[in-house]
Amino acid sequence: MHPSLDQVQKLLRDELKKAAGPPGENIPIMLERPKEAGHGDIATNLALLLAPRLKKSPREIAQTLVAALSLPEDILEEVEVAGPGFINFTLSRSFLRRGLRELLRCDESFGKLTTGQGKRAQVEFVSANPTGPLTVGHGRQAVLGDAVARILENASYAVEREYYFNDAGKQIRLLGQSIKAQYLRLSGEDASIPEGGYQGDYVEGLARRFMEKRGSLSPPPAEEEFTVFGREEAFAGIKRTLFRLGIHFDRYYSERSLFDSGRIENTIHALRAAGLAYDKDEALWLAGSTLGLDQDWVMVKSTGEPTYRLPDIAYHIHKLEQGYDLIVDVFGADHQATYPVVLAAVSSLGHDASSIEVLIHQFVTVKRGGREVKMSKRKGDFLTLDSLIDEVGTDAVRYFYLLRVRNSHLAFDVDLAVKESEENPVFYVQYAHARTAGILRHAKERGFSEPGMDCDADLLGEGEELALIRQLLVFPEVAAQVLKTLEPQRITVYLREVATAFHQFYQHHRVIGDEPALSRARLSLVKACRTVLSRGLGLLGVSAPDRM
RNA sequence: GCGCCUGUAGCUCAAUGGAUAGAGCAUCGGACUUCUAAUCCGAGGGUUCCGCGUUCGAGUCGCGGCAGGCGUGCCA
């Protein structure tokens, strides 16, 4: 059985720990992948960390460590002390070749992790109120949440995607009132949009559709009918948009259902019973200060209506009761103040909230014509996610969003994104995949059988070939790292590296040539590369086209 | 005022505390009789916002500034 890169690392760790002996107590063995090509495949700074304790020069310590290591011969080609005292390990050709065969054997399951085997995870994201179309801002959330779900699925978690929507509060009522006002206007009556109501063209459109369906009624239908209509229409639109992005939810969780099921009432009772809630000014307050928060928060307004925090708490308790092993909440930066309150309240009621992972992403601003477009849904001045997909295409939209770390602000320059449909980074990677597919197609036409692990990998010895194999074998490590950090953008960085290694290989070496054995070996490498590219793109939810 | 996030090449962004800070776009110069040139090879471009500290070593950690975003609602 060929050891994976992961197992090699474990072996190195054990050996280094042994070699360091007692002075190495409590020093974590750090293994890293050097960014410099000449620094081997794996490096450790152990000698540098030991130096202060041993009061010897790091290089000298490194030499001693290297001498004490006992490692299987066929794994490493070179172990070298370099720079200030790093130990660089270079994998052997035979290891790389065996790794390639292993990759081919695993095929589509290469890089699949078993971390979440038998575990259930829930990812909640988007959760936009059904009051209008999704915006460019929601897009980031949608794509990020879906990529996180895919990453968890790759780690064998049973993943549920959940969308929590508010159909009980003030916003949805305002939508109904706004549509009604537009409806009355269409009927020639004088009506004004309520304070804080929704103004965009789409509200007028909704009113128009309502009228087409129901006609001009006098007296007009009750406000509730407009609300229901508006919500259904908005939701249908949201689902259409998500469908275009390849995103589907397993469950849409209604806030109203929390009231109907009595969960809101139960939460209030629990908070009161725990002495965490008190009445003041005819409102119900959460005693944040006793929970370690810096202030108290209103849970139920003096009008008798709960603020959004109470349903949020009840909702999260319900999540926890379902026994997920992992719960991921994807929130925009505007929720940053809310979730600590929710988590504190949930914990103080005796629930273990440690399975909840909150991912906050920063806002998206939209630039158009060199100017920033201010987005306000209520004023109807926003760029819809749909229009962005129209202009840029699904793959580019997804990839573009995933290129950024979630904690950095994303300025979506629409003009640039459209222009980049020619030069967009996603095409670089997709093109590499299309090239692999093209070569494999060509090989089949020329009568080559399906490439696989029966090839003679020893024939692969060119620099570009070995560099590509190295790159491919890192994939499981990337998958593991991404699982830990839930940062999909690392995949985009990795995929670019793979694509570059492949394009370089392609440029310098002809795959299908005069020597059948060499051709077969290279075809296997191409197939392996195609597998990794398609697996990586799959984690991002971006298509891997066979032709472009 | 206070809290969270961000500040890296002209632009958009990378870089588990490590070695000479990297990519793409843009600019300039080369490479198609080929399995797709949506590619490759090369060049130029940096006080990593500023200052002090921590240590063998700081873009990364701490403190203090500066600038921007978000929050700090009986809005969601």
pLDDT for the residue numbered A420: 63
Q: Collapse the DSSP code of A440 into the 3-class scheme (helix H, G, I; strand E, B; otherwise coil) and give the result.
A: helix
Residue A336, CB, strand B, below 7 Å: yes
Q: For residue A324, which of A149, A488, A489 has the smallest C-alpha distance?
A: A149
Low-confidence ranges of chain A (pLDDT < 70): 1, 369-382, 418-423
**List of long-range contacts for A29-37, beta carbons under 8 Å, 24+ apart:** A33/A474, A33/A477, A34/A88, A37/A467
pLDDT for the residue numbered A371: 65
- In sequence order, the β-bridge partners of residue A300 are A284, A306
Report the alpha-carbon distance of residue A468 to residue A103 in Å, rounded.
Answer: 13
Say which nucleotide is closest to residue A408, CA to C1' distance: B6
Alpha helices by DSSP H, listed for A322-424, are 338-348, 385-392, 394-402, 414-423
Q: Which amino acid is at A401?
A: Y
Identify, with chain letter, the residue nearest to nucleotide B31 (CA–C1'): A507
Say which nucleotide is closest to residue A128, CA to C1' distance: B76
**Reading across the β-sheet that carries A277-280, which strands appear in turn?**
A277-280, A283-286, A297-300
Residue A500, CB, strand B, below 7 Å: yes
Which tokens belong to A240?
Answer: 């259409």
Which tokens belong to A27?
Answer: 């020093």
Q: Which nucleotides of B are covered by protein (CB under 7 A)?
A: 3-7, 11-16, 18-20, 22-26, 34-41, 55-57, 68-76
- Chain A residues 355-414 within 7 Å (CB) of strand B: 360, 362-363, 403-405, 407-411, 413
Residue A48, CB, strand B, below 7 Å: yes
Who's near A261: CB < 8 A, 6+ residues apart?
none
Q: Report the relative pairing of strands A297-300 and A364-368 from DSSP bridges.
A: unpaired
Report the alpha-carbon distance of residue A281 to residue A72 in Å, rounded.
Answer: 75
pLDDT for the residue numbered A369: 66
pLDDT for the residue numbered A239: 96
In contact, A363 and A409? CB cutoff 8 Å: yes
Distance, angstroms, CA A35 to C1' B15?
9
pLDDT for the residue numbered A295: 87
- In sequence order, the β-bridge partners of residue A124 are A162, A329
Alpha helices by DSSP H, listed for A446-515, are 463-473, 475-485, 489-508
Supply φ then ψ for residue A124, to 5 degrees: -105, 125
Report the alpha-carbon distance of residue A486 to residue A460 in Å, rounded.
Answer: 35
Report the alpha-carbon distance of residue A456 to residue A517 in Å, rounded.
Answer: 7
pLDDT for the residue numbered A380: 53
| Per-residue DSSP letter, A108 | G
Q: Report the relative pairing of strands A283-286 and A297-300 from DSSP bridges.
A: antiparallel
- Chain A residues 294-323 within 7 Å (CB) of strand B: 295, 297-298, 301-303, 305, 307-308
Question: Helix, strand, coil proportions of chain A in percent (round to 5)?
Answer: 55, 15, 30
In contact, A116 and A477? CB cutoff 8 Å: no
Per the listing, tokens 């895919």 go with A150
- Chain A residues 153-172 within 7 Å (CB) of strand B: 166, 169-171
Other C-beta atoms closer than 10 Å to the C-beta of A188 total: 7
